[in-house]
Chains A and B, each alone.
Chain A
Amino acid sequence: MDQETVRTICYLARLEIDKDKAQKIENDLETIIDLIGGLQAFNTDNIEPLYSPLEQTAFKHEDIENSDNQKEKFLKNSAVSNEDYFLVPRVVE
């Protein structure tokens, strides 16, 4: 794993790594990738992936509105909001 790849995945994950920790993180990622690379030794021809141990379709329920508008309750946890919205830096000039 080279520095360019680490920079790309950091951007994709919206994370910044401290400069003094960059080398350690790179080494750690390399070690972990080596570990999971060991899976290539297992023959999985014609094996369906198992995405959930349950293997059942998620159950459905009627689409009935069943909660009150709890706007105030949810806005309370936002660091910056007004009475109606979560606020973020301007994205459209």
Chain B
Amino acid sequence: MSIQFKSITQLREMLDNKSISSEELTKETLRLAEDLKELNCFVTMNENASIEKAKSIDSANDLNSILAGIPLAQKDLFCTEGLRTTCSSKILSNFIPPYTATAVEKLENAGSITIGKTNMDEFAMGSSNETSYFGNVHNPWKKGYVPGGSSGGSAAAVAAGIVPAATGTDTGGSIRQPAAHCGITGIKPTYGRVSRWGMIAFASSLDQAGPLARSAEDCAILLNEMSGHDSKDTTSLDLENIDLLKSINQSIKGLKIGIVKEFNLGDLDAEVQSCFENSKRLYESLGAEFVEVSLPNISASVPTYYSIAPAECSSNLSRFDGVRFGHRAENTGDLNDLYIKSRSEGFGDEVKRRILIGTYALSAGYYDAYYKKAQQVRRLIKNDFELAFKSIDLLMTPTSPGAAFAFGSKGAQNPVELYLEDLFTISSNLAGLPAISIPHGKVNALPVGLQLIGNFLKEDQILNAAHIFQQNSEFHLDKPSMEDF
């Protein structure tokens, strides 16, 4: 029986009724990954260790966890002890971490099996997965098209049916946008919900880990395990975890959904608008009410983000110096020369661009004009959300202005063109809010996503609204034909 495209719940049932063992499931998953390697969604496979773990799960049979024996893929930004972790960068192309990220460790402790590490934009800087040192990832729906980014490898691996779910990280839309472009579901939790310990930092006040899967229900299963306080992360929230699986399947009658006036959805492609209107009608038929809300400073989201994120990136990436880990240039002169050559050889163009912008924004004479100013505008954006959430339960937007695009067709001449891909996703990172993307139709035969943004710590509400949508539609069940691969 094929395991391709199966959900976690379906695989759990197969494992429980012994129609497959975890060892067979893991081997079959690895075979699928090999058969579909043209997608380029994996950077490193974990064959031997994953088969060994599967055997031990089969023989122990004592883990009372939905994830016991289920194969997952991890974004190659999470440190995994003994398993190469590259961030899809030349500078970390030989890095074997001495420890495992908390979010991955929690999933593994629940019995899941890490089958490999997924390709991504270098250091998560990109919206198309075209900045990876290890090459582009193909969108399973159309060869030669981007899967979105930065968690493009994770999204493609799930969309291609290789694994039922994968981890991702989201700094400005890096879970939600690839989920949308690949026709799957992905949630960025509230900032602080999931530990960032062991995640290679890009922008520390924006980064957050979360799951990508083929349904909101499967996302809830992963997020249940990934969440929770971690004393190793000083920004980790110390809260009692709620069971997200128990929170879904509640009626949404009377749910108040806000539509952001300033997003001018009328300017979008007619097919994107049509998907959005159809989803609105579906929610209305299920009892939800729509109200227009104003976020007066939302147009500042993209410039605010592209000031703050590069500033934090330039600071975080200063640790890559060729001395303690990572690529070290040869034939260097003094220590300064060692730093310059190692970093210049190790980083790709987009990463260099962002480090330079961040260095500029933080340098003497410009700090107040760019960095501090952006943090002040960030507060205005957060205040707008706080006011809006006094009268609504959640916000609804398209995830992305359009569907996936062909390799090289955006941002090559002007990087800002690609930055605008994040128009609808960035603001929830700036404000720290949870947001989910679910598939809700197609444009030119490629999937597009619907984004639901929740109030602080309201993952249960957006997962429930997403689950109810999926209980009453079939977009999330649609699969790519994969005939080109």
Contact = CB atoms under 8 A, between A and B. Distances in A.
A44 B376 contact: yes
Contact of B339 (A14, A17, A37, A80): A14
Contacts of B337: 89
A28 B98 CA distance: 37
B377 A42 contact: yes
Interface of B: 95-96, 98, 191-192, 205, 231, 234-235, 237-238, 297, 300, 302-304, 306-307, 314, 318, 321-328, 332-341, 343-344, 347, 349, 352-353, 355-357, 359-361, 363, 369-370, 372-380, 382, 414-416, 419, 430-433
A79 B430 CA distance: 37
27 contacts: A1-B360, A5-B360, A9-B356, A13-B314, A14-B340, A25-B356, A31-B416, A32-B416, A35-B302, A35-B303, A36-B361, A40-B369, A40-B373, A42-B300, A47-B380, A52-B191, A53-B191, A53-B382, A53-B432, A59-B231, A59-B234, A59-B238, A73-B98, A88-B335, A89-B333, A89-B337, A91-B334
Enumerate the 7 nearest inter-chain pairs by beta-carbon distance, A residue then B residue, closest first. A53-B432, A49-B375, A79-B328, A58-B234, A44-B376, A77-B325, A50-B379
A32 B305 CA distance: 11
Contacts of B300: 38-39, 42
B98 A52 contact: no
B231 A89 contact: no
Given A12-B363, A39-B373, A58-B234, A31 B347 contact: no
Interface of A: 1, 5-6, 8-10, 12-17, 21, 25, 28-29, 31-33, 35-40, 42, 44, 47-54, 58-59, 61, 70, 73-74, 76-80, 86, 88-89, 91
A48 B307 CA distance: 17
B379 A47 contact: yes
B376 A88 contact: no
Contacts of B98: 70, 73-74, 76-77
A9 B363 contact: yes
Q: Which secondary structure dominates chain B's binding surface?
A: helix
A29 B373 contact: no
A53 B428 CA distance: 10
Given A52-B191, A54-B192, A54-B432, 20 more contacts: A13-B355, A14-B318, A21-B349, A25-B353, A35-B303, A36-B357, A39-B300, A39-B303, A42-B380, A47-B376, A50-B379, A50-B382, A53-B430, A59-B231, A76-B98, A79-B322, A79-B328, A89-B332, A89-B333, A89-B337
Contacts of A9: 356, 359-360, 363
Contact of B376 (A5, A29, A48): A48
A56 B98 CA distance: 30
B205 A52 contact: yes
A78 B300 CA distance: 42
A49 to B, nearest CB: 3
B205 A51 contact: yes
B100 to A, nearest CB: 13
Given A39-B377, A78-B325, A89 B338 contact: yes
A40 to B, nearest CB: 7
B344 A52 contact: no
A76 B82 CA distance: 11
Nearest to B352: A15
A86 B321 CA distance: 12
Most interface-central of A28, A73, A86 (chain B CB within 10 A): A28
B382 A35 contact: no
Contacts of A33: 357, 360
Nearest to B369: A40
Nearest to B337: A89
B325 A38 contact: no
Contacts of B416: 31-32, 35
A91 B332 CA distance: 13
Nearest to B297: A42
Given A31-B415, A50-B375, A51-B375, A15 B347 contact: yes
Contacts of B363: 8-9, 12
Most interface-central of A48, A49, A53, A61 (chain B CB within 10 A): A53
Contacts of A15: 340, 343-344, 347, 352, 355-356
B349 A88 contact: no
A28 to B, nearest CB: 5
A59 B322 CA distance: 32
A88 B339 CA distance: 10
B379 A13 contact: no
A77 B379 contact: no
Contacts of A74: 98, 324
A49 B353 contact: no
Given A39-B303, A61-B231, A13 B382 contact: no
